[in-house]
Amino acid sequence: MGTGRIEAFSDGVIAVIITIMVLDFKIPADASWHALGALVPGLLVYALSFATIADFWINHHHTLAAAREPSATLMWSNLALLFAMSLVPFVTGWVASAHGSPLPVASYGVVMLAATLSFVVLGLVIAAQQPINSPARSTFRAFVRKGSVVAVCYALAIPLAYVSVVVSYTIFIAMPIFYILPMRIGGTD
C-alpha cells in the first residue's frame, strides 16, 4: 500500500492554492504603464509565494517517495502541512495590499513558519519509517536539520517585521533559495 493517494490529493490542494493566489489579481483599471506598475508589488509577493510553494511541492514529492506506509500519523502530518500552505494565498494578498505594513509581513512569516514546522514533522514521521542506520534515515536527519534552520529564520523574520520589513522580506526570499541549492548539490532531483 503506497502513498500515491496522499501525493495525488496533496498535488490537487497545492494546485488550488497556486490558482487562488493568481485569481486574487485584479485587472488594471486602464491600459497604462501606471496602472500596470501598481500591480508590481503584488506580482513580486506572488512570485515569492509561488517559489516557496514550488519548493514545498518538490520537496514534498521527494519526501513522500521515501514513505514506507500511509500511516495515520503520516496522513495527519501531511494535512497539517496542507492546512498551513492553504493560508499562503491569504497572507500573500494581505502583504501585497498593505504596502509594507509590519503586521501582514509578520503574519506571512507565521504562516511560513507553520508550514515549515509541519514539513519538519512530516519528515520526522517518514524518517521514523526508515530502517535504522539506513542512508535514507540519515538523509531525513539532514532534511530535518535544514528545515529546522529555515524554521528559525522564519521565526526571526516575524518580530523583525516590526523593526524592518525589508529584513523580513530578505529572509523570505532567502529561504526558497536555501532549499533549492542544497537539493541540486545533494543530487536528489
Enter the pTM of the model.
0.88
> In this structure, what is the dihedral angle of CA atoms 109, 114, 117, 122, given to the nearest 10 degrees?
-140
* Alpha helices (H) along 4-134: 4-23, 33-37, 40-65, 72-86, 88-98, 102-129
| Nearby residues of 126 by Cβ (< 8 Å), 6 or more positions away | 63, 64, 66, 67, 68, 74, 140
From first to last of its 189 residues, what are the pLDDT tens digits of the chain? 577 889 999 999 999 999 998 887 788 888 888 888 888 888 999 999 999 999 999 889 888 888 888 899 999 999 999 999 999 999 999 999 898 899 999 999 999 999 999 999 999 998 888 888 888 787 888 888 889 999 999 999 999 999 999 999 999 999 988 877 644 333 444
Separation CA 164–CA 170 (nearest Å): 10
Instruction: Spell 86-113 as b/e; 16+ CB within 10 A means b.
Output: bbbbbbbbbbbebeeebebbbbbbbbbb
Q: How many domains does the chain have?
A: 1
Tell me the residue range of the domain where 36 lies: 4-186
